[in-house]
Amino acid sequence: MDDVSIKTAGVTSAKSQLPLSVLIVDDDKTNRLILSTLIKKLGYTVISAVNGEEAVEMYANDHPDIILMDVMMPVMNGYDAAVEIKRICGEIFVPIIFLTAITDENALAKCIEYGGDDFITKPYNSTIIKAKIDAMVRVRELYNHIADSKSELQEHHSRLQLEHEIAETIFTNITNPENLEIENIKYLLKPMSITSGDILLCSRTPSGGMHVMLGDFTGHGLSAAIGAIPVSDTFYSLSSKGYSIGDIAYNINKRLKETLPSGFFCAACLIEADEAFRTVAVWNGGNPDIIITTNNGPPIKISSSHLPLGVLNSDNLDRSVEFFELATNDKIYMVSDGVVEAQNTHGNMYTQERLDSVLLESQNKCNPFSTIKNSINKFCENSEQFDDITLIEITAKPLDTVNTAYTENNDQALAAVNWGLSIKLGAGALQQTNPCPLITQSIMEIQGLSEHRERIYTILSELYSNSLEHGILGLDSSIKENPQGFTEYYNARELALSNLKNASIDISVKHHPLPSNSGGNIIIIIEDTGTGFDISNNTSSLEENRNAHGRGISLVKSLCTSLLYTNEGTRVEAHYQW
């Protein structure tokens, strides 16, 4: 053995700040003594074992940091002991340096094969021993640092996974996906990550119609899904109160501007269908084309005519919508840009043109939705997904034939008391405000008549529409009998409304308890400054009227205990008892 001066290295554990411990395993007492002396001078603590079995037991009890292991020993040799110690270590790195007099390459390779990390050949050289132990210390520290980083990363990943799962639960609860589980709707949702930046919402309205919204937020994943909270809350709240999709778009835009950071916006398209799906109103802000396929004509494309929600200040948002007439089994398709921008393995995009072509080809097939979905899936097969993918198909069918999920609270009606409210709308208010949702909600708040919301809203909205559209604007409902009649009617309505001057409507609602506190009587009075509403052609019953117009008065009569027009049709009084 060389006579070499060895200085104390002073190597300590970063965790315990105590000298590292070395286990020397050798059946030769002299070898153990020599090695112990050398290693103690290096600044390590030393423990020893005389064979492999004792080494395994000492490792299990004392957990040394480094092991010097002789190969040939009685009871259990070094190979078997190394295998057992490595098994006990698991993912903890404990360097094992084999001590051997063998210089044969195959024998040395066997040391590594059985779990050794290095070897020292006899006779011992103090310089080599120091160098190899120091090297193992560095490897051990590096390994522990990597293990700590891995553990920290796994902990972070687990925490992030939990947060995503919580976000997904919240996202699911607030978006009410069960509302989409109806016969009229088929949809495909393929989020890029656990939570989706795309949002699909559906709600029944108090008048019996339907609202549907497809939103696509900036970005992907959790940050994008956060926007679903204010959007869903606003959409469901205002839909249940009877607000139009133009008003809903306005209020969602306001919420996003108030609550979300700059540069965060939501491309959105909203659909509003009446209870019979005869007409549909469309608001498209930043989403790909909405397409309506018909039974006897080419598809209708509705391109975006508005900016996404959250971009403009609310005062600058255009609430105007486009109206379209539908026939039974016509289909409406909406997609997020994740569909038209989806890429295949060659980097080619799916494109709007490809979607249009597939829609045209599938128009007369028995299940066009499956054809379109399969086309998207086949195109994207084996390719990486870069955005959330959403497709929805809405079939025009009367809503009263399906079990549409329209949720109401189950508040009990409050004790009947006397109360009243009134509102006066001038020309400016008539142009930009629909008072029916506000009045209906006020009745709900005052009297708690949630079970009667739909009927009360229907009475209010029908009488108000007649007063505005026929009494003041002078529109002729018979236009609706012509091809594209509904579109012509609503275009004429918007034009007449934009030119309206010096007109007003007064609405008053009174409530009186019925005798013996058995309920109440709601009296709705609407009076306008127009030419009056002629009800002489609206005397048929609801069942007898099969026209595309003129059913509103019959419907109101069926809901009210009395309905009376006076003052040449400029004043109407309706009584509704509960």
pLDDT, tens digit (0-9, with 9 covering 90-100), for 32-63: 999 999 999 988 999 999 999 999 999 999 99
Buried b (16+ CB within 10 A) or exposed e, 39-61: beebebebbbbbbbbbbbebbee
Share of the chain above pLDDT 70, in %: 91
The predicted model gives 315-341 an average pLDDT of: 91
Predicted confidence at residue 551, as pLDDT, reads 66
The predicted model gives 369-386 an average pLDDT of: 91
Question: Is the pLDDT higher at 407 or at 363?
Answer: 363
Quote the CA–CA distance of 511 and 438 in Å, as a whole number. Answer: 17
CATH fold, domain 176-401, is Phosphatase 2c; domain 1 (3.60.40)
Predicted confidence at residue 483, as pLDDT, reads 64
Examine the pLDDT at 401 and tell me if it is beyond 50: no
- CB-based contact 290:332 (threshold 8 Å): yes
- Taking alpha carbons only, the member of 451, 455, 577 closest to residue 518 is 577
Question: Is the pLDDT higher at 43 or at 484?
Answer: 43
- CB-based contact 437:237 (threshold 8 Å): no
The predicted model gives 330-335 an average pLDDT of: 95
Examine the pLDDT at 5 and tell me if it is beyond 70: no
Determine phi and psi for 300, rounding to 5 degrees: -100, 125
Question: Is the pLDDT higher at 100 or at 224?
Answer: 100
Predicted confidence at residue 252, as pLDDT, reads 95
The predicted model gives 174-197 an average pLDDT of: 84
Q: ∠ at Cα 246 (525, 446), nearest 5°?
A: 40
Position 537 confidence tier, pLDDT thresholds 50, 70, 90: low
Examine the pLDDT at 18 and tell me if it is beyond 60: yes
Give start-end residues of each CATH 3.30.565.10 domain in the chain: 419-577
- Residue with the two structure tokens 């529109």: 475
Question: Is the pLDDT higher at 502 or at 225?
Answer: 502
DSSP per-residue letters across 44-101: -EEEEESSHHHHHHHHHHH--SEEEEESS-SSS-HHHHHHHHHHHHTTS---EEEEES
Examine the pLDDT at 75 and tell me if it is beyond 90: yes
Predicted confidence at residue 55, as pLDDT, reads 95
Predicted confidence at residue 261, as pLDDT, reads 84
Examine the pLDDT at 134 and tell me if it is beyond 70: yes
**Cα Rg for the chain, rounded, in angstroms?**
39
Q: ∠ at Cα 262 (259, 267), nearest 5°?
A: 85
Strands in 322-325's sheet, in edge-to-edge order, are 198-204, 210-217, 266-273, 279-285, 322-325
Predicted confidence at residue 88, as pLDDT, reads 92
Two structure tokens written together for 81 = 């002991």
Examine the pLDDT at 16 and tell me if it is beyond 50: no
- CB-based contact 197:222 (threshold 8 Å): no
- Taking alpha carbons only, the member of 349, 241, 237, 222 closest to residue 288 is 349
Quote the CA–CA distance of 397 and 302 in Å, as a whole number. Answer: 20
Average pLDDT, the chain: 85
Give start-end residues of each CATH 3.40.50.2300 domain in the chain: 21-148
Architecture of domain 419-577: 2-Layer Sandwich (3.30)
Predicted confidence at residue 94, as pLDDT, reads 92
Examine the pLDDT at 555 and tell me if it is beyond 90: no
Question: Is the pLDDT higher at 170 or at 127?
Answer: 127
Predicted confidence at residue 159, as pLDDT, reads 84
The predicted model gives 451-475 an average pLDDT of: 91
Dihedral in degrees, nearest 10, Cα atoms 58, 60, 63, 64: 40
Report the chain's terminal Cα–Cα distance, integer Å.
Answer: 108
Examine the pLDDT at 544 and tell me if it is beyond 60: no
Q: Report the CATH superfamily, name and number, of domain 21-148.
A: Response regulator (3.40.50.2300)
Two structure tokens written together for 363 = 């128009």
Give the CA distances from residue 10 to residues 41, 45, 196, in Å, rounded to whole numbers and listed in that order: 10, 11, 55
The predicted model gives 160-178 an average pLDDT of: 76
SS3 188: strand
Examine the pLDDT at 389 and tell me if it is beyond 50: yes
SS3 387: coil
Examine the pLDDT at 315 and tell me if it is beyond 90: no
Name the least confident of 170-184, 265-279, 316-330, 341-355.
170-184
Predicted confidence at residue 450, as pLDDT, reads 83
Give start-end residues of each CATH 3.60.40.10 domain in the chain: 176-401
